[in-house]
Amino acid sequence: MQNKFEDEIQKQLDDFTLTPSNKIWGKIEANLDSNEHRKFPIWWFSVAGTIILGAGFWYYNTLSNTKNADNTVKITNKAMRINQNNKPTNTIIIATEEHTTYKLIKNVGATLIAKPTSNNKRVFSQPNKTASTNNSPNTSNKLNAATKINSPIDDFKIKSIKEDYTANSNPSLLNPSKQNAIVAKIQSVNKYEDLPKDSIQTNESSTSVASKDSIFKKEAVVINIKHKEDSITAYNKKGKFMITIGSGLINILSKSPVYSDALSSAADPNNNPAMSTNERTTSSPTKGFSIKAGLVYQQPLALKWQLLVGLNYLYIQNTQSVGLRKDSINLSDDGHYFEAGYQSNLINYAHIVQAPLQLKYLLNSHSKHPFYLLFGGNVGYQLNSKWLVGANSNTILYYKKTLATNFVASTMLGFGIAINDLSIDITGHQSITPLQNSNYSKKYLQQLSLDVNIPLNFFSFNKQKK
């Protein structure tokens, strides 16, 4: 196909060149920089993703272990065997430590998981029925009516196999209605005020019956299960205030080059403090730290959902080493003196007041230490900040407070665990508005934070416990 014409064209055009405008390299550099910075959140989110998937897998495993064909829980496997052998018609109630979740399982053994309020030992009485309890966590022997299960209150997980109350009930223990029932330990009767009235009803008169069996008054009730549903759920609707303290790592993501030709952030490769005109790089140290403190209000919305709102103070800081070109003008800007040809350390910082708005999803609400996911965002206001912006073609350096944007918003994703009323969160934040906005550089904040939330009544509560 090639002929003389094409050959001629190729020959002529082979040497055709044009000089690109000066700004092109800057744009390429900015693009390469943002690509480099983008690696961080990808890595970050992949770690977060792995953890979330792992947690999901763990949760799924826990859940699938606890389920059987009757929508009951794992602990009922033991009871199910009893069921097969003795055909009891008992009820199982599983309650969380805060008595927020109850699951009623029909026609199996009776189990309660609950957390008591005092250090006293509690004695639970078994009804007059002997059952095969080879799988009981408390004993491998057969239980009989005389068996008493002593549980240290602080580690009170009744995994006792209750007998068939209906068919073989001890009348003194059961309420008069003779419905399926279980003696349940709760923190106080008041705890049940928020429960749906049509699902669980406390029976004060039964409390006194129970007290005969060494169950302390007002600390135990008999719960009558009115509705024999497979699952009854309720949650404590009372919100609580928490103090938040936290610390973390930050990454400042620049959408465009921080530096112009006047600057360099890298040390001179020849260990010569004087920067040579040609030794410049745009890679900039952007990592730093954050400190946070504030107050958060947590309001349960549903069994597994909680809303958190609050007010935090956030301080972020990073340090960068900046070299000014030899041929630059020595200058002092906003109180900081820069000497041309030398490295100079700058501290970038921001004081931010922010209001978090977060949703918490409990993965295992029935657990003593619920694991949860967090997502939401923050809106904030930069009270005071100072960022290195860059330098213009006249080598004038900008390191100013004034170019910061006051309003900052960010998205948030994380997870956490509640341990003994404390909740520990690990969250990742990505700002959606720039911290600093100028023609030279827009800076976005990425933050990985470890926070501890302490309920306001935590200290008094622990004191009480002692």
Partner 1 sequence: MAKAVNELIIDCLEGKRMAQKELYQLYAPKMLGICYRYTKTLEDAEDVLQEGFVKTFNNIKQYKGNGDFGAWIRTIMVNTAIDYLNKHKKYKKELQLAETALYVASNETPEIYLDTKDLVDLIRKLPIIYQLVFNLIAVEGYSQPDVAELMNTNINTIRSRYSRARTILIEEIKKQEEVQLNYYAK
Residues that bind partner 1 (CB under 8 A): 1-6, 8-10, 12-13, 15-21, 24-25, 27-29, 31-32, 35-36, 278-283
The two structure tokens encoding residue 164: 């068939």
344-349-354 Cα angle (round to 5): 170
The two structure tokens encoding residue 255: 């959408």
Which of 89, 53, 54, 92 is CA-nearest to residue 366? 92
Is beta strand 407-419 parallel, antiparallel or unpaired with respect to 181-185? unpaired
The H or E element spanning position 52 is: helix 23-66
- As a residue count, the chain comes to 466
Measured from the CB of residue 429, what is the shortest distance to partner 1 in angstroms? Answer: 27
Is beta strand 422-431 parallel, antiparallel or unpaired with respect to 407-419? antiparallel
What letter would DSSP give residue 133? Answer: -
Measured from the CB of residue 229, what is the shortest distance to partner 1 in angstroms? Answer: 59
Measured from the CB of residue 279, what is the shortest distance to partner 1 in angstroms? Answer: 7
> Looking at this protein, which amino acid is placed at residue 427?
T
Instruction: Report the alpha-carbon distance of residue 166 to residue 221 in Å, rounded.
Output: 18
CB closer to partner 1 out of 5 and 337:
5
User: Does residue 434 contact residue 442 with C-beta atoms inside 8 Å?
Assistant: yes
User: Does residue 325 contact residue 279 with C-beta atoms inside 8 Å?
Assistant: no
CB closer to partner 1 out of 19 and 394:
19
Cα 442 → chain centroid: 29
The two structure tokens encoding residue 44: 């970050």
Which of 316, 337, 442 is CA-nearest to residue 390? 442
Is beta strand 305-324 parallel, antiparallel or unpaired with respect to 287-300? antiparallel
CB closer to partner 1 out of 248 and 257:
257
Measured from the CB of residue 280, what is the shortest distance to partner 1 in angstroms? Answer: 7
Instruction: Report the alpha-carbon distance of residue 253 to residue 257 in Å, rounded.
Output: 10
CB closer to partner 1 out of 202 and 264:
264
Measured from the CB of residue 323, what is the shortest distance to partner 1 in angstroms? Answer: 14
Cα 117 → chain centroid: 27
Measured from the CB of residue 382, what is the shortest distance to partner 1 in angstroms? Answer: 30
Give me Rg for the CA atoms of the chain.
33
CB closer to partner 1 out of 269 and 335:
269
What letter would DSSP give residue 465? Answer: H
Which of 401, 421, 414 is CA-nearest to residue 450? 414
Measured from the CB of residue 464, what is the shortest distance to partner 1 in angstroms? Answer: 59
CB closer to partner 1 out of 231 and 283:
283
Measured from the CB of residue 61, what is the shortest distance to partner 1 in angstroms? Answer: 40
CB closer to partner 1 out of 1 and 146:
1
CB closer to partner 1 out of 284 and 447:
284
Measured from the CB of residue 236, what is the shortest distance to partner 1 in angstroms? Answer: 53
CB closer to partner 1 out of 170 and 281:
281
User: Does residue 380 contact residue 408 with C-beta atoms inside 8 Å?
Assistant: yes
> Looking at this protein, which amino acid is placed at residue 37?
H
CB closer to partner 1 out of 30 and 357:
30
Give pairs for 50-57: CB < 8 Å, separation 24+.
51/415, 52/373, 52/415, 55/363, 55/371, 55/373, 55/415, 56/363
> Looking at this protein, which amino acid is placed at residue 305?
W
Measured from the CB of residue 276, what is the shortest distance to partner 1 in angstroms? Answer: 11
Residue 119: φ, ψ to 5°? -85, 0
